[in-house]
Structure 1
């Protein structure tokens, strides 16, 4: 019997999180998936026939939720109804357990939506950062009730490894297999820079320094004969604004050698730039992962410990920096560091299959062929 699963995910047009959803749906073509997300997500997944997107910003859905909220029956009636009428839920994503203000209310609302009589699969996450022991203890209680919990880095796994339903595997996107035509430049060499707005990542006071450093790196590579392509993975988190700030710092005579790409609904457009790049500056976590998958030299600019944790797990031997040491970084160091920035991720790609073991068993798919890659664009 065909099963129907609810997807819980971060739906703010973030490339990495949208790739998670795509991977999941393409792995199980005979399973029906449901997702509540903004209307434009119907464009993101227009070719995904087994995924139905319910527009969270539609007048109908908002009206129904408003009515039930005013009558104090349920604050998110539509999501609760769809969850009740599904065979289970897959919560897929990366940084989905960062402690924020008012976390108790957030957790209570999420638990109110969960149908505890049906399986709940958590896939591909990392835990934290967190400050309160109560936050950690609360999730220990909750995770015990999940059908499966899979983390993507050792630190998070170690926090919960004594629970019988917790496992470890490399990031799900290590499975990516991309075959479309890459972007090419007239110069023949491309530096791709995925950017962030540091203050949007709680790195307050770093915006100007970061923009100056990215400008310096871009100028240095342009003078070495590169075209520089700036990538925004998530406009909602300020990536597009950051690109504008950096471009304003680049001398006018070098502007012709720069390009900007803003992810909104076309996943393959961004992947094509990364696939065509000669090397990558990765401020975004999944720019680092995708760079390795594409076999490119990568220089990570780590905005959080999760990037450093994954580099350590993968035994990455190339150069990188974090924001504590960003002021010391020079463009010359980045240029030289690219020589050792590649990583063979075949092992990680195979191990990433482990995220799906319990969901495979629940959905009873056809036996997987040995060596099969789960996600193909």
Structure 2
């Protein structure tokens, strides 16, 4: 049985968690290993071919302490785990964004995957946005040393297609096995994000007020049309749940309280996905809320806050969406009519 170390962004984000589940389900005869927060020992306990280590495990503490003295490293256990496995799979979406001018720590972390792994593969990513050409050149050189790279949009693929082992494949979540047997309610599901703190090289914090007011106006219009509303937080640590609670504070919703429901992803992927499956329409800001809406054949209104969403819309030749830059001027009724 092949031993595979999974390197992923594990921060209680529904989309990233689903990607890891799909990977493990697709290769049942492989033994996967994950180094993450202890939260996942519960959230992923049903994945039989996945062993999870956390920084609080006695074994992990022992090796981290020992290797800190021997090798002067702070990631001793994870490095040792990669060395013992047959391969490392780096799975994730927006893992190559130049958030700040100094990206050396991120580049080193990605280079260490190559350094400590027998083989290393990148799955499901997009590249960018980035500010400096050197950022692209550094990663072009690094990814040329990987054993396989799969990008989820043609923009990213085209920037690296001169490397023989680089390919294009649609987002990993398109492999999710859907079941459309549930009853569909007269309901609109909103996936929202928090723009607070997003003030890096590609600052979108400037749109936080416009975005919040737009979601409030759109939700109110659907309520007036007789729909129920579900707000689904995909990632509480990144502020989704907080933002939802700020959105529903408006007095415009006072007479609709019994028609509004708030849900927060807590590790139970199927429970959250069932809300999408049972809704009639999806208004998605989170990338994977859009993908899941399409998988369940729902009318979807994408809210574009990042280039990754725009690129997949271009790849699929879809033009009905709203970007942050245009939310202040867009007609709510026109958007609803075009879904």
Pick the TM interval, shorter chain: over 0.9
Residue of structure 2 equivalent to 1:47: 46
After TM superposition, the structure 1 = structure 2 runs for residues 89-128 of structure 1, keeping only pairs within 5 Å, are 89-101=88-100, 102-115=102-115, 118-128=118-128
Which stretch of structure 1 is more off in the superposition, 56-65 or 232-241? 56-65
Residue of structure 2 equivalent to 1:251: 253
For 1:308 and 1:113, the matched residues in 2 are separated by 29
For 1:218 and 1:162, the matched residues in 2 are separated by 46
Runs of 4+ in 1 over 4 A off after TM superposition: 57-60, 180-184
Residue of structure 1 equivalent to 2:338: 337
Which stretch of structure 1 is more off in the superposition, 8-17 or 101-110? 101-110
1:20 aligns to what SS in structure 2? helix
For 2:69 and 2:328, the matched residues in 1 are separated by 52
For 2:113 and 2:123, the matched residues in 1 are separated by 18
Deviation of residue 333 (structure 1)?
Answer: 2.3
Residue of structure 1 equivalent to 2:315: 313
- 1:94-126 deviations in whole A, cap 9, x for unaligned? 101111333112212332353466111101100
Residue of structure 1 equivalent to 2:265: 263
For 2:311 and 2:117, the matched residues in 1 are separated by 35
Residue of structure 1 equivalent to 2:205: 204
1:49 aligns to what SS in structure 2? coil
For 1:46 and 1:117, the matched residues in 2 are separated by 26
C-alpha spacing 1:231/1:183, structure 2 compared with 1 (3 Å):
farther
Contact 2:83–2:116 (CA<8 Å) still a contact in 1? no
Residue of structure 1 equivalent to 2:132: 132
For 1:322 and 1:45, the matched residues in 2 are separated by 34
Residue of structure 2 equivalent to 1:359: none
1:73 partnered with 2:75: no
Contact 2:284–2:301 (CA<8 Å) still a contact in 1? yes
Contact 2:13–2:234 (CA<8 Å) still a contact in 1? yes
For 1:295 and 1:257, the matched residues in 2 are separated by 24
- 1:309-345 deviations in whole A, cap 9, x for unaligned? 101101224x21111111112321232122xxxxxxx
For 2:210 and 2:58, the matched residues in 1 are separated by 43
Runs (5+) with no aligned partner, structure 1? 339-377
After TM superposition, the structure 1 = structure 2 runs for residues 1-377 of structure 1, keeping only pairs within 5 Å, are 2-58=1-57, 61-62=60-61, 64-65=63-64, 68-69=67-68, 73-101=72-100, 102-115=102-115, 118-179=118-179, 182=182, 188-201=185-198, 202-249=203-250, 250-317=252-319, 319-338=320-339
C-alpha spacing 1:128/1:122, structure 2 compared with 1 (3 Å):
same
For 2:40 and 2:268, the matched residues in 1 are separated by 10
Residue of structure 2 equivalent to 1:342: none
Deviation of residue 135 (structure 1)?
Answer: 1.0
- 1:139-158 deviations in whole A, cap 9, x for unaligned? 11111111101100011011
Contact 1:199–1:206 (CA<8 Å) still a contact in 2? no
2:325 aligns to what SS in structure 1? coil
- 1:167-197 deviations in whole A, cap 9, x for unaligned? 011111112222286476xxx4010000001
1:277 aligns to what SS in structure 2? coil
TM-score of the superposed pair, with normalisation by structure 2: 0.93
For 1:103 and 1:63, the matched residues in 2 are separated by 30
Deviation of residue 61 (structure 1)?
Answer: 3.0
Which stretch of structure 1 is more off in the superposition, 53-62 or 31-40? 53-62
C-alpha spacing 1:131/1:124, structure 2 compared with 1 (3 Å):
same
C-alpha spacing 1:294/1:117, structure 2 compared with 1 (3 Å):
closer
Counting matched residue pairs gives: 333
